Amino acid sequence: MADLGKVRVTAQWTWHGGGLAAARAYFGDQGEPWIDLSTGINPHAWPQTCTIPVDWQRLPECEALSDLEAAAAAHFDADPAHVCALPGTEIGLRLAGECFSAPAFYLTPSYRTHGEIIVGARPLTMDALHLADGATLILANPNNPDGRLLSPVQLTKLLAQRGPQGWLIVDEAFGDCDPSNCMASAVRDNRRLVVFRSFGKFFGLAGLRLGFMVGPRPMIAHLRRRIGAWPVSAAAIAVGRAAYRDHAWISATRDRLREEALALDALLHDKGLPSSGACPLFRLVEIDKAMPLFERLARQSILTRPFNDLPNRLRIGLPANATEFSRLEAALSDG
């Protein structure tokens, strides 16, 4: 086997979660299927995708797109006039970044994209938030990778501190797990607040590439002009509006994820691995040397999420079933 140290800086699994093909190519197959715990995506996907009819021969109708946005708005507890569907929040964040200028800050650690959407934006830690007073601030809530969660009271205070020129941009990619901490309902035309929501993480369908921006109507209009007439596919529209209206599945899944996160907490605690995070889809483990643990798990075909810039941290997502949980337990015991 090649020297692991030579690939740590450039390996795909340290750049983004979900680098399963790269991990398999490097570590090989050990006789059991790979378990991907690197993404923070719900392992229990919304189960009705195959039953939803999709017209693949026609461009999506405007009415269908509007219905998707209405279903999403109801799920977010937001005004549909403030909701714009996107082919994934990554694109929306980058396009919306055109509307903001320095001074701007992004809260770290968090998504790499947050540091790239506004020219001149600078990183900022929680203990230095006062330095962003009066400026635009970008943050994730719940945060990735540590699961830090700010309450609506805290976020409202941060919004007030933006002043007459700054904006508060909240990335709620994991917000569906607990709507009580979400800010989409607070968006107004006279508030300098923009919220982004992801469909794929909670509904377990990241490949659908569907997201939303919730913002003041002038900004919504600008974004619609930039993304064009057919921003999302017919499949995304059909699946998205059905899934957002499946209230029974949404409620049951929130309960299920909380229970499974508690089980993962107990396992990590039992193995002497201190973990943190308020998002039930993943936990962040902090130990002196996280990479050796990553490598040990990878050699047993279990992919987790290490970080080049955070060498003492490892993010671990939820196992999909009892078999995966047992394999993770055995791998953590094999030290």
Lowest mean per-residue pLDDT among 2-16, 76-90, 223-237? 2-16
Domain 49-245 sits in CATH at: 3.40.640.10
* Model confidence pLDDT, tens digit, residues 46-84: 999 999 999 999 999 999 999 999 999 999 999 999 999
Task: Please state, rounded to an integer, the average pLDDT across all residues of the chain.
Answer: 93
Phi, psi dihedral angles at 126 (to 5 degrees): -60, -40
In Å, what is the CA distance from 241 to each residue of 69, 92, 175, 234, 246? Answer: 8, 19, 18, 11, 9
Contact 77, 184 (CB under 8 A): yes
Q: Which residues contact 109 (CB under 8 A, 6 or more apart)?
A: 143, 145, 146, 307, 309, 310
17-44+248-333 CATH choice from 3.40.720.10, 3.90.1150.10, 3.40.50.720, 3.30.1510.10: 3.90.1150.10
Least Cα distance to 21 among 303, 316, 311, 242 occurs for 303
* Model confidence pLDDT, tens digit, residues 26-52: 999 888 899 999 999 999 999 999 999
Contact 327, 333 (CB under 8 A): no
Q: Which pLDDT score, from 0 to 100, does residue 8 have?
A: 46
Q: Please give the span between the terminal C-alpha atoms of the chain, in angstroms, as a whole number.
A: 20
* Model confidence pLDDT, tens digit, residues 176-229: 999 999 999 999 999 999 999 999 999 999 999 999 999 999 999 999 999 999
Phi, psi dihedral angles at 19 (to 5 degrees): -80, 55
In Å, what is the CA distance from 65 to each residue of 83, 197, 270? Answer: 11, 16, 48
Domain coordinates in residue numbering, the chain:
17-44+248-333, 49-245
* pLDDT tier, 18 (very low <50, low <70, confident <90, very high otherwise): confident
Query: What is the residue-wise DSSP string for 221-239?
Result: HHHHHHH-S--S-HHHHHH
Q: Which pLDDT score, from 0 to 100, does residue 309 have?
A: 81
